[in-house]
Amino acid sequence: MKTSVIAYPRIGKDRELKFASEKFFKGQITEDVLSATAYEIRKENLLKEKEAGISFISSNDFSFYDNVLDAAYLFNIIPKRYSLLGLSPLETYFAMARGYQGDKGNVKALAMKKWFNTNYHYIVPEIDDDTEIRLSGNKPIEEFKEARALGIDTKIDIIGPFTLLKLARYTGNKSSKDFAKALIISYAELFDKLYQEGAEWIQLDEPWLVRDLNEEDKELFREIYKSLLENKKSLKFLLQTYFGDIRDIYSQVCDMAFDGIGLDFIEGRRTLDLVKSKGFPKGKIIFAGLVNGKNIWKNDYSKTLHILTELKNYASDIVLNTSCSLLHVPYSLENETKLSEVYLKHMAFAQEKLQELSQISSLYDFSESANVKDHPIYKENQLLFQGRINSVDQEVRNRVNSIKEEDYTRLPDFSEREKLQKEKLGLPLFPTTSIGSFPQTQDVRQNRQKLRKGLISLEEYRDFNKKKIAECIKLQEEIGLDVLVHGEYERNDMVEYFGENLEGYIFTEKAWVQSYGTRCVKPPIIWGDVSRKKPITVFWSKYAKSCTNKPVKGMLTGPVTILNWSFPREDISIKESTLQIALAIRDEVLDLEANGIDIIQIDEAALREKLPLRKSDWYSEYLDWAIPAFRLVHSGVKPETQIHTHMCYSEFTDIIPAIDAMDADVITFEASRSDLQILDSLKENNFRTEVGPGVYDIHSPRVPSVDEIVNALNAMRDRIEDSKLWVNPDCGLKTRGETETKASLINLVKAARIIRDK
């Protein structure tokens, strides 16, 4: 059986691309040096896949920042504000991703959103009525030739035209169908050039097909591929889908002239049923996504082989595939030297998933002529699924089972709480605050590393952080913010930090996963039942409160985000895991309140990430327990205690009623990079919660002007009552520099005061 990998991680085994890119941004290295680093990463990835015996290896799965941005740039979908800067091609590319502020101009970055139901963020292409779509680059061609020079004939991985059009934002009067013809011509030109270079397979990623499709969507898809497949010459086209099933268009896809169809059998809950009920066309290859590209647990070979055996009855040619890109898992277990083999033997990162593909393929071939259960690899694999040590805590499970319906409801009603909180807190109109973290400077990271290496005592570590907190509080008072934060200097990551202080988690050393651009996260791993044994944040919040007479927010991460930004266990449901975490965070909320913290922020940045991609599944499979899980966290506090939450970089406009049902007192949103589009939805849905739409983008190094923020606030006031509007950045400031952070917050406060004075 042949094997395939949709795409491979690209940040580098030791985050080489991250560090090289950041040096390039600072002017410390040249484009040539950055490009050389990128080449070495691509080369290592290709050779690693070849060594593992992968039959279908992708090229063009590398990106300096984001693959969707690559596709937009390739087809000249470049807003004029970037092309007019007069920068080099690579600098223009990065200006679209990060914004630009320098001697050649000052522009904001393109919008950034979550990639379907993952924690990866893509750059949203922006198309105006004058956009001239045309092939304007050769990246796929060059990377195909580069791989061939290494002796590897690759399938070329490209974002499909349908998904590209659906992901784009249209700023004028035209829509996707108005640009389809130009995009078809541009893709056809690219295909012709690849054909001339001797390419055989082209992989077109069309994940949008797993969403709800209306007739207009289906017609657009048919129009695009009818044209593209009419003159494919000897090229073979693989239509690759992932993150779900394609039930809305399965039969039509099967009838089209694709040579291979990639289907997800992990998250595609109905994929197998579709194949069994509707069949699979003869002469086509099914690329069966059966090795999970989004979680780190070993594949259960018995289940995978069972599905492959069933598929054999419907498809004559099967290729074993990953369920999605391996971008969403860490590089290799080889980097993990401290975690016990007791745990490691249950895990497979990207490199180990290559081995799984190879082993499953061999076992499938073996099963054709012998009993696979006799194979030593099969036996070893099955031993892993006979139980996991230290994963069950009966006390935790009893507590979850004891949750009552009234535990999900906070009393009194929001409107009454709002009055009591305004009276107690005495905040001015348009109160100013930040989302939580302040810049994690080198000395902060070094202090944490020294503690971990045993070079300083816990007391020395705490004394350093207390000094940083005192400085942070003083800075915020000088700037004039109304509600202060402690800066989160003790936290490595908003999820990992809590995981380290909860029972049931295990941790890695270098299991980094790309979140966006150069930003990487190291998700903790949920191994067992989760509980809180002692307070986590109370010490730091109490100290910050002692440094000022102004209100200080307690800062927590919510249960849904902790679950979604961890690698969840697969032996119990994610609902049960989330409720366990919710009870642990509830204990922390009540401890903060008991220690005089009057404002508590419980971030749910990742609320949407496990939301099913089809609306019909939203409540039955997710929202009917995710929203109550959040309410469980805060339902026990007093009416006067103000509960905040924060959400960012996802599509929230269509779940506004569910967000309002979280029953927080204040919700802060990312809004700056999406031009405040979410505000119209808030108004349409009569959103009752107080709200702080981010007034500037913290993922860009540029400093917003006072006028820019004033204009944003005026736009907000058209849609939000003055009494409900908060003023804040759109996310935490951890990744920003100290100078730009201070300048930006000074301008934020000035803008708020201008509006307040009016």
Residues marked active site are found at 699
- Phi and psi at residue 596, to the nearest 5°: 85, 10
User: Which tokens is 208 given?
Assistant: 């949008």
Three-class secondary structure of residue 578 per DSSP: helix
Question: Of 47, 75, 9, 3, which is closest to residue 146 (Cα–Cα)?
Answer: 47
For 346, half-sphere exposure in the C-beta direction (CA atoms, 13 angstrom radius) is 21
Check residue 729 and give left, alpha or beta (phi > 0: left; psi -120 to 50: alpha). Answer: beta
Distances (CA, A) of 145 to 37, 193, 327: 18, 12, 22
Element (H, E) at 239: strand 236-240
User: Which tokens is 280 given?
Assistant: 């699979």
CB atoms within 10 A of CB 374: 9
CA distance 240 to 272: 16
CA distance 14 to 19: 9
CA distance 518 to 17: 7
Distances (CA, A) of 288 to 3, 114, 270, 378: 9, 25, 13, 20
Distances (CA, A) of 360 to 53, 364, 491, 580: 12, 6, 40, 35
Judge whether 299 and 339 are in contact, CB under 8 Å. no
CA distance 416 to 89: 56
Amino acid of residue 420: L
E strand residue ranges, 111-205? 112-114, 121-123, 126-127, 155-159, 169-170, 201-205
CA distance 480 to 679: 26
Judge whether 441 and 448 are in contact, CB under 8 Å. no
Amino acid of residue 554: G
